[in-house]
Amino acid sequence: MSPTRFPPHFAKTDHRQRSLNQMRSKQLGLEKYIYLNGLKGRDSDLFYDILLENMQEMIPILYTPTVGDACVNYSHIWRRPEGLYVSIEDKGRIRDVLASWPNFNDGRIAVVTDGSRILGLGDLGANGLPISLGKLDLYIAGAGIKPSSTVPICLDLGTNTQRYLDDPLYIGVRRPRPLGPEMDEFMDEFMEAMKEVFPTLLVQFEDFSTDNAFKYLERYRHQYRVFNDDIQGTGSVILSGFTNAARLSSAASGLPPSDQKILFFGAGSAGIGVAKQLLSFFTLSGMSPEEARSRIYTVDSKGLITANRKGLQEHKKFFARTDYDGPALTDLVDIINHVKPTALLGLSTIRNAFTEKVVKAMCALNPRPIMFPLSNPVALCELDYKDAIEWSSGQVIFASGSPYKPVSHDGVVYEPGQGNNMYIFPGIGLGSILSRTRHVSDAMVEQAAIALANSLTEEENAAELVYPRLARIRDISAQVAFAVIRQAQKEKLDDNAYLRTLPDSDLLGLIHDKMWQPPALQLRSFTRL
Ligand SMILES: NC(=O)C1=CN([C@@H]2O[C@H](COP(=O)(O)OP(=O)(O)OC[C@H]3O[C@@H](n4cnc5c(N)ncnc54)[C@H](O)[C@@H]3O)[C@@H](O)[C@H]2O)C=CC1
Ligand SMILES: CC(=O)C(=O)O
Ligand SMILES: [Mg+2]
């Protein structure tokens, strides 16, 4: 190959702007994703540099909604190895596979998916890797974790999605998913090997199908440094936004925030994870756990979940109603009229399930109903923001899982919230890493939620936002990490005595100082040439 050289005047030009222009010139979200991924491979410092400056624009590409398209099509858009695949065929030698990761001594945070429930898109098998990559980009951009400390992992265990098994380009192992003991043995070996190879690393379980999400969180949470983002991260982020939303709703109704009654549409890992975390919304205000539970109702594909239903899955039993034994209630408007909720949360993957009738039924019961359609990506969201504002004349207090743009109605501009675990997991990770906590406790997750709820500025509160603006994510992650560290210390789960000696302002300062920054472009290779 002939020698190459940068054009001599290249360093005088704005390569950041050039890269942004190239990304912006692509029409489709997926094309932008492919471009940005290529850029990350060529020059990761530049990639993170422009990501930090353009969060609002780039996060919806690298994360939900576009990462969903990237996952669905990953076998076809694959360019280069980007993460670590651990295959069911590696059973017996998983330790060696993990040890092949470059700089494994640096590993501090792994996002691990088995691809079995990517966003609301179902079993995508080995195509699930981009979700781990996207979450880790948020750790890097949002919490300043060093890129070399992040380990994206996809467990390649097979898939039950026939169209992938039939696709000649599918990059995963072609077999159905393992069941019961075969899966348990794999997971036990994997977790043990993770601890051996990456002794100080935090594992984030991501997008496992609901049964396995609950099962492996319980199996490992007291043994390893692990948390489940969909159950705990989502629970925490919604507790936070809900606390702020209830304050706004109370101001309109004149009723105390603890008068809220919450209806969950969708009772999977996310729905039940959030419902359990929202118990604290009531208990923190002095309510008994039993009373708190009575204020939560859950709905699945068969309707209102009642205790008398035959064959109810284990994770649905806790919130199953014992106060209704009439005919099954399956229509959402009927359920709303029966329950009379103040809040309706969607984690069902059913697009447009919150119809005009549903919105109007909620508005008839409350001056400012809370409506959080949280399913991802946008194509599976229960309610579009524009419809929510139009059908309620701006009454609803809204947060969705994926981003929506502000909406103008009757001369007023309304801003949606984004109720997504991206506001929480980077701070939980950073706090856990810095304090070297042995486990991620329920109280740490709860304190993270409270810190996020309190992180809104005066301006954000005045604009009636329920979540802070994304551009401040590093500041927010620092506040979340601070709360996590202090809680770890309180429970004596931490292993960093120095942090205990620091007064609050110094600890917050240290958290900010520890955040990785992409090296300034001028100081990098271009000027050397
Ligand atoms: N906003 C956020 O931060 C997060 C959002 N999610 C989203 O939550 C959604 C659900 O995730 P999982 O709970 O893991 O999935 P899942 O598939 O286990 O749960 C879906 C639930 O919806 C119910 N459902 C399905 N069809 C229904 C219908 N027609 N009527 C009523 N209920 C119906 C199912 O019975 C099940 O209980 C996904 O779209 C995911 O992207 C998940 C985690 C975080
Ligand atoms: C946001 C997220 O974790 C999910 O939709 O699964
Ligand atoms: Mg998830």
Indicate which CATH number applies to the domain containing 467.
3.40.50.720
Q: Let me know whether 243 and 205 are in one domain.
A: no
Helix (H) or strand (E) segment spanning residue 364: helix 356-365
Report which of 433, 443, 429 is spatially closest to residue 235, judged by C-alpha positions.
Answer: 443
Q: How does DSSP classify residue 99?
A: H
Q: Let me know whether 332 and 404 are in one domain.
A: yes
Q: Let me know whether 299 and 179 are in one domain.
A: no
Question: Is residue 488 exposed (0-12), middle (13-18) or buried (19+ Cβ within 10 Å)?
Answer: buried
User: Residue 405: is its pLDDT beyond 90?
Assistant: yes
User: Residue 526: is its pLDDT beyond 90?
Assistant: no
The CATH number of the domain holding residue 62 is 3.40.50.10380
As for how many domains the chain has, the answer is: 3
Helix (H) or strand (E) segment spanning residue 373: strand 370-373
User: What is the arrangement of strands in the sheet containing 109-113, beginning at the earlier edge strand?
Assistant: 84-87, 150-156, 109-113, 202-206, 226-228
| DSSP labels, 481-529 | HHHHHHHHHHTT----HHHHTS-HHHHHHHHHHHS--PPPGGGSGGGG-
- The arithmetic mean of pLDDT across residues 380-389, rounded, is 98
Q: Let me know whether 110 and 158 are in one domain.
A: yes
Q: Let me know whether 210 and 199 are in one domain.
A: yes
For residue 390, is it within any domain?
Answer: yes
Residue 349: domain span: 232-419
pLDDT band at 2 (very low <50, low <70, confident <90, very high): low
Picking from 419, 448, 474, the residue at the C-terminal end of a domain is 419
Tell whether ligand 2 has an atom less than 6 A from the beta carbon of residue 418. Answer: no
Predicted local distance difference test score (pLDDT) of residue 529: 40
Mutate to test the pocket of ligand 1, among 347, 420, 428 (most ligand atoms within 8 A of CB): 347
Q: Let me know whether 399 and 464 are in one domain.
A: no
Predicted local distance difference test score (pLDDT) of residue 187: 98
Enter the ipTM: 0.99
- Average model confidence (pLDDT) across the chain: 96
- The arithmetic mean of pLDDT across residues 338-347, rounded, is 98
pLDDT band at 5 (very low <50, low <70, confident <90, very high): confident
- Give dist(CA 242, CA 372) in Å, integer: 9
- Residue 133, helix vs strand vs coil: helix
Listed residues: CB within 5 A of ion ligand 3: 207, 230
| DSSP labels, 189-203 | HHHHHHHHHSTTPEE
Q: Let me know whether 446 and 504 are in one domain.
A: yes
Q: Let me know whether 17 and 155 are in one domain.
A: yes
Count CA atoms within 13 Å of residue 267 on its CB side.
Answer: 23
pLDDT tens-place string over residues 363-377:
999 999 999 999 999
- Give dist(CA 362, CA 388) in Å, integer: 11
Beta-carbon neighbour count of residue 211 at 10 Å?
14
CA angle in degrees (0–180, nearest 5) for 474-50-83 = 80
Flag whether 420 is marked binding. yes
Q: Let me know whether 303 and 437 are in one domain.
A: no
- Compute, in angstroms, the gap from residue 329 CA to the centroid of ligand 2: 28
Integer-rounded Cα Rg, in Å, for the chain is: 23
Q: Which residue has the tokens 């991924």?
A: 37
- CA 454 to mean position of chain CA atoms: 19
Q: Let me know whether 104 and 166 are in one domain.
A: yes
Predicted local distance difference test score (pLDDT) of residue 527: 47
Picking from 224, 250, 265, the residue at the C-terminal end of a domain is 224
**Which bound ligand lies closest to the C-alpha atom of 269?**
1
Pick the catalytic residue: 63, 85, 414, 467?
63
Torsion on CA atoms 156, 349, 71, 162, rounded to nearest 10: 60
For residue 528, is it within any domain?
Answer: no
For residue 252, is it within any domain?
Answer: yes
Flag whether 230 is marked binding. yes
% of the chain exceeding 70 in pLDDT: 98
Tell whether ligand 1 has an atom less than 6 A from the beta carbon of residue 271. Answer: yes
- Give dist(CA 85, CA 255) in Å, integer: 52
- Compute, in angstroms, the gap from residue 348 CA to the centroid of ligand 1: 3
- Compute, in angstroms, the gap from residue 156 CA to the centroid of ligand 3: 17
Query: Which residue owns the Cα nearest ligand 2 atom 3?
Result: 230
- The arithmetic mean of pLDDT across residues 507-513, rounded, is 98
Q: Let me know whether 96 and 126 are in one domain.
A: yes
Catalytic-residue membership of 135: yes
Tell whether ligand 1 has an atom less than 6 A from the beta carbon of residue 301. Answer: yes
Long-range contacts of 32-41 (CB under 8 A, 24+ apart): 32/61, 32/66, 33/61, 33/62, 33/66, 33/67, 33/69, 33/70, 33/77, 34/70, 34/77, 34/79, 36/61, 36/62, 37/70, 37/79, 37/82, 38/79, 41/79, 41/80, 41/82
pLDDT tens-place string over residues 158-202:
999 999 999 999 999 999 999 999 999 999 999 999 999 999 999
pLDDT tens-place string over residues 253-302:
999 988 999 999 999 999 999 999 999 999 999 999 999 999 999 999 99
User: Residue 342: is its pLDDT beyond 50?
Assistant: yes
pLDDT band at 103 (very low <50, low <70, confident <90, very high): confident
For residue 7, is it within any domain?
Answer: no
Catalytic-residue membership of 310: no
For residue 3, is it within any domain?
Answer: no
For residue 174, is it within any domain?
Answer: yes
* Backbone region of residue 436 per phi and psi (left: phi > 0; alpha: psi in -120 to 50; beta: other values): left
For residue 366, is it within any domain?
Answer: yes
Picking from 172, 206, 224, the residue at the C-terminal end of a domain is 224
Flag whether 103 is marked binding. no
Q: Let me know whether 427 and 413 are in one domain.
A: no
For residue 391, is it within any domain?
Answer: yes
